[in-house]
Amino acid sequence: MLVVFGLGNPGTKYEGTRHNAGVETLLKMAAYYQVSLKRRCFSSFSSATIGDEVKLVFPLTYMNESGKVVLKTVNEGDEVIVISDQMDLPCGKIRLKKGGSSAGHNGLKSMLSFLPNNFTRMYIGVGRPKEGVSVPDHVLSKFSEEDRALVDKAEEKAASILESLIKGEESFAILQGQANSWSAI
- Residues designated catalytic: 19
Q: Which of 171, 177, 182 is nearest to 2 (CA)?
A: 171
Q: Which of 148, 184, 133, 111 is nearest to 24 (CA)?
A: 148
Residue pair 82/2 in contact (Cβ under 8 Å)? The answer is: no
Residues 6 or more apart whose Cβ sits within 8 Å of residue 42: none
Q: How far apart are CA 33 and CA 123, in angstroms?
A: 21
